[in-house]
Structure 1
Amino acid sequence: MDFINCLKTSKNTFIIAEIGQNHQGNIEIAKKLIKIAKDCGADCVKFQKTDLKEKFNNKALLRPYNSPHSFGKTYGEHKQFLEFSKDDYRELKYFANKVGILVTASAMDVKSLEFLIDLEVPFIKIGSGDANNFILIEKAAKTAIPLVISTGMQNLVTVKQVYQLVSKYHKNFVFLHCVSAYPTPIEDINLNVINLFKSTFPDILIGYSGHELGTHISVAAVALGAKVIERHLTIDKNQKGSDHACSLDPVEFRRLVTNIRNMEAAMGKPIKEFQISEKPCYEKLGKTLVYTKQLKSGHKLENGDINVKVAEPKGIDGAEMAKIIGKKLLIDVLEDESILFNHLE
């Protein structure tokens, strides 16, 4: 069964630990984050694959990058420092397979897309930065490989264009509601976009990629129907790098997974019925039908003959009152006595 069909049939939300470039350019830190993600209960880890010459023009690469988060004098040097080689990715995939967790990456350009397909990842991520890159998106769609597409920095018109573009080739894709602010202000999150996407694109799955502080908003997204949750993972929020501040540390990420799994269990089924766990409360407080007066055998019960009380022994449930009006008594009964089925003809 392919990746998207697995998501559709699974009862569980698919949880992606976005490592991105929080590995600081160090493959051993990347492996440590993979292991942490697995231990926290994530289903997949995700990196970012870039061919710098394909993604950026020369002026962008040569731009001075004077920032406390910089790993180089220019933006190109900074990005190159954080970029893993193809051999590094193969090593990371081998390590993730050994640990027992899926691994993929965002394809930041066409060459990176081709490499990730060759790497045989379970799906390709299209990040928000490329949600309006129709050239890349169409090339990705043509491959028929499953896609997970973030929609940060886009409006609904553009998202609809992406939907139409990918749908020409297949429906094996997921839209993630996303706001590309790090961290995202609460008032900008607009979780109701999940409902908007569900109604606008009813034939695909919808998820949420969060950059807010904490975990509760992402758990709420699951309650709204998000089938995929993506959150950044870091070892230390105080490390150099702009993504660390809005990332979850291992304790938070484990809490996120636990709370999502609890939310899934709590959502249950759209069936309203008496639960076994309610029995103690029902035995103590559940209402029973009782007689309002002493009545003789052969009497046909009327509305004025019946009241509802907490009574011993438990008799006929209060909700059954309409069903016993007009029933004939088989025995004499006393005032305030519980009404039992064996009293009735």
Structure 2
Amino acid sequence: MKKFDVGQLHKSINIDGVDIGENYQPYTIAELSGNHGGDINKALELIDAAAKTGASAIKIQTYRPDTITLDHDGPEFVVKDKLWQGRTLYELYEEAHTPWHWHEALFARAKEHGITLFSSPFDKTAIDLLEDLNCPAYKIASFEITDIGLIQYAAKTGKPIIMSTGMATLAEIEEAVTAVKDAGGTQLAILHCVSGYPTPIADCNLSTLAYLHQYLDIPVGLSDHSLADTAAIASVALGGSIIEKHFKMTNDTTSVDAAFSLDPNEFSRMVSAVKNTKSALGEPSFRLAKSEQDNVAFRRSLYIAEDIKEGELFTEQNLRSVRPGLGLHPRYLDELIGKPAKQTLTKGTPMKLEYVTQ
């Protein structure tokens, strides 16, 4: 496959001192989105809960309704999707947005837990706010991957950039990657994403992630809106090094993204599963694993299966390939059948070449 020229972009990125890429453990992101329901105490509670799941980081979103859409009820401003059907974009974002005056407290709470918090900015003023809070990385959402000005403004901060590709063509992904390069960015990760809420598992097309991994040769991962954690786990086996899933509190069925979010127990299981998956991949090896070394003795070998007198011929009945593996290699069986025994042998004796009259 011909690779896309990513220029100065690194093959791994580093967020808050954590290396992220194919040679490292999966980086798991708990996306809070609008699941705080407009209550800062719930937002803080979500951070507390996410920090206990083993997540690598927590992500919020930084916008105001007026920075992301217009307060308008024209048909093109009304959501037709069944999850949010009939609501205007402005109404939806008014409910889902994380007020800017909360941000300092949210960053402080994450710091208390020793967990990284960063954000998806949706306009330049959001980046300015986040820079004042020393946000360690920026996530470009799928819907903003065509906002080249926003991408370049984020890249010029010098912070690592993570971009989701939902709805994007390959040409649009290339343009966004080029925007980061042109702005002097050196750390970029691309997350395969399907912007369906929730995403049917058959729509995930995780092979795209594997393609992007080969084509771009930079860290890739999955921003997952499917139910459960099947796609997230599979993504690691295909080269994914970042997994982002929406996060909610237990028994939350009403928050704006609750329908495709994981609760703390589910998220914890996912974190454990993707780490185990990464460990299971290992590397190509034909050496004995430590766990199997003691079992080598129980492979097959040639054993005397019936008592044999000196001079008696070896047959398929009195010389057999059985477990354990302390006798002669089974490859010699056909060669020995029909030859005379050099000495008397008892059943259960491991076979040796010296027992055969040549």
TM norm structure 1: 0.81
Paired letter, 2:122:
M
Q: How many residues align?
A: 324
Question: Aligned pair 1:33/2:56, yes or no?
Answer: no
Per mean C-alpha deviation after superposition, the further-off stretch among 176-185 and 256-265 is: 256-265
Question: Aligned pair 1:205/2:219, yes or no?
Answer: yes
Please state how far the C-alpha of 1:51 moved relative to its aligned partner.
Answer: 3.5
For residues 164-200 of structure 1, give each alpha carbon's deviation from its aligned partner in whole angstroms, at most 9, with x where no partner exists. 2212323301000000001101221100001110111
Structure 2: gaps of 5 or more residues? 1-12, 312-318, 337-341
Please state how far the C-alpha of 1:283 moved relative to its aligned partner.
Answer: 3.3
- C-alpha change, 1:33 and 1:312, in structure 2 (3 Å) is closer
Name the counterpart of 2:66. 53
Name the counterpart of 1:338. 350
Q: Judge conservation of contact 1:51–1:109 (CA < 8 Å) in 2.
A: no
Partner of residue 205 from structure 2, selected from 190, 193, 196: 190
Distance (Å, rounded) in 2 between the aligned partners of 1:172 and 1:294: 76
Distance (Å, rounded) in 2 between the aligned partners of 1:333 and 1:263: 54
Question: Aligned pair 1:44/2:33, yes or no?
Answer: no
Partner of residue 142 from structure 2, selected from 87, 104, 128: 128
Q: Which has the higher helix share?
A: 1
For residues 210-229 of structure 1, give each alpha carbon's deviation from its aligned partner in whole angstroms, at most 9, with x where no partner exists. 00011112111111111000
Name the counterpart of 1:304. none
- C-alpha change, 1:294 and 1:225, in structure 2 (3 Å) is farther
Name the counterpart of 1:92. 106
Partner of residue 281 from structure 2, selected from 244, 254, 267: 267
Please state how far the C-alpha of 1:81 moved relative to its aligned partner.
Answer: 4.4
Per mean C-alpha deviation after superposition, the further-off stretch among 190-199 and 54-63 is: 54-63
Distance (Å, rounded) in 2 between the aligned partners of 1:86 and 1:313: 70
Name the counterpart of 1:255. 269
Matched residue of 2:214: which SS?
helix
Please state how far the C-alpha of 1:313 moved relative to its aligned partner.
Answer: 6.9
Q: Judge conservation of contact 1:237–1:247 (CA < 8 Å) in 2.
A: no
- C-alpha change, 1:136 and 1:61, in structure 2 (3 Å) is farther
For residues 323-345 of structure 1, give each alpha carbon's deviation from its aligned partner in whole angstroms, at most 9, with x where no partner exists. xx9xxxxx9795985356999xx
Please state how far the C-alpha of 1:27 moved relative to its aligned partner.
Answer: 1.0
Structure 1: gaps of 5 or more residues? 297-306, 326-330
Please state how far the C-alpha of 1:155 moved relative to its aligned partner.
Answer: 1.2
Name the counterpart of 2:131. 117
Larger RCO of the pair (alpha carbons < 8 Å, separation 6+): 2
Q: Judge conservation of contact 1:126–1:147 (CA < 8 Å) in 2.
A: yes
Paired letter, 1:211:
H
How is 1:129-278 mapped onto 2 (pairs within 5 angstroms)?
A: 129-168=143-182, 169-202=184-217, 204-235=218-249, 236-241=251-256, 243-278=257-292
- C-alpha change, 1:287 and 1:48, in structure 2 (3 Å) is same
How is 1:280-295 mapped onto 2 (pairs within 5 angstroms)?
A: 281-284=295-298, 286-289=299-302
Distance (Å, rounded) in 2 between the aligned partners of 1:266 and 1:282: 21
- C-alpha change, 1:95 and 1:341, in structure 2 (3 Å) is farther
- C-alpha change, 1:65 and 1:270, in structure 2 (3 Å) is closer
Matched residue of 1:6: which SS?
strand
- C-alpha change, 1:189 and 1:334, in structure 2 (3 Å) is same
- C-alpha change, 1:60 and 1:53, in structure 2 (3 Å) is farther
The alignment-based identity, stated in percent, is: 28
Structure 1 stretches of 4+ moved >4 Å: 60-70, 289-296, 316-319, 331-337, 339-343
- C-alpha change, 1:160 and 1:60, in structure 2 (3 Å) is farther
Please state how far the C-alpha of 1:163 moved relative to its aligned partner.
Answer: 1.5
Over the residues paired in the alignment, what is the CA RMSD in angstroms? 3.6
